Structure 1
């Protein structure tokens, strides 16, 4: 006689295994993804646009010195995004692996490659702060030289962002494909994510190859990344279809 499985808050317990419901994975992924949005808006968009004055190193340096705490918070925010990204992609892997393990692994690789690039890129922001620290060893530099160095490292940081953005785009394609093929999540979200991939990639290549052109396609192709976490958090997944995919993949 076999024991019947017991269910407790999304956890299915049998006499041999403990299985977490895909709804748990969906909810956790939704929360983590939504958490990245305000962190990214604050650390990557709002603070730089507030403090950095294009073409004016002195004004930029003065802004950073006057709002050093804000600038440091933007660094912490950028680092937190990467930490959240690690957990997010691992949860999404558990959720999407039943569709295709190889594509799910590719999604993880692309997402994790971006993490060290983005985290190490924050050294450029710390370098900018060091040049404004007033340390004794900086007396060899004049004010204009210090401000120019600050602007140099801020420019390096911007280039680093666009390098990381290549992988922020690439991980969306296998994720979008998996969602499109899954049957337990809406196909249109998968399509939007794949479109979002090309938005990031095109933006990066335009920045590197045509730096005088100020075009941001990702500002129009981000809808998949907004709708996915909302769907995961509110609707979840079709559990029966997920279980069917999981059985077929074993």
Structure 2
């Protein structure tokens, strides 16, 4: 039981890191550098604020790392009770991590380029990669919600909110003007992060097989929690 709660909280920490890095990089730093329709202004921002441009790259790499850790964490947390959903979370999360890695490589190239048209193109392609990655980010919320519903370890409304939010995230990639579609996803994600960090999983909802999985050693036989830690 203690091991399962530890997995939940480590996953919550990774998810929190993902939210902070993504918000700081894509929503804060990028708008300070990229000016749509004005390559010269974008170049001037990147060249004149080199430290900020490098910070943007570092934040995107942090998104890659925390997304991968969160995907692995959710897989470890849910694989015993919801193996299909756990695999879906891991797969979609890792694909999104790979997409953002491509974006980070483009921004790193832009920081070393002195041509305005090239810098503008690299930032444009990076932005489109984030849009494509948003599809997979939405898709990872759907099996996450399914895992919540099937295990009963978190409130059922959270599960349905994650599923609805994931669908909204996918639709928003094709309807960028409909920003309200991502609101359920944002609420569900912060709820999930908070629940993982504060509660972990609900002990009263642990099934005997889940409790056994939390106490099982690497060979599958019963062993102490300390052995896994």
**Residue 154 of structure 2: which of 175, 185, 208 is its match?**
185
Alignment check: 8 A CA contact 1:30 1:232 kept: yes
Q: Is the 8 A contact 1:23 1:239 kept in 2?
A: no
1:121, CA displacement in angstroms?
2.1
Structure 2 residue aligned with 1:229: 193
Match of 1:51 in 2: 33
Give the TM-score normalised by structure 2. 0.85
Deviates more, 1:174-183 or 1:96-105: 96-105
Gaps of 5+ in 2: 214-219, 221-229
Deviations 1:160-212 (A, max 9, x none): 111111111111100111102211211111111112212221121235xxxxx
Aligned residue in 2 for 1:66: 48
In the other structure, the counterpart of 2:203 is 239
Residue number among 106, 111, 125 corresponding to 1:156 in the alignment: 125
Structure 1 outlier segments of 4+, above 4 Å: 247-250
Give the number of equivalent residue pairs: 213
1:99 CA displacement:
2.7
Gaps of 5+ in 1: 1-6, 11-19, 133-145, 208-213
TM-score of the aligned structures, taking structure 1 as reference length: 0.78
Partner of 1:228, secondary structure, is helix
Between stretches 93-102 and 174-183, larger displacement belongs to 93-102
CA 1:239–1:98: 2 relative to 1, 3 Å: farther
**Higher-Rg member (1/2):** 1
Q: 1:154 offset after TM fit, Å?
A: 0.8
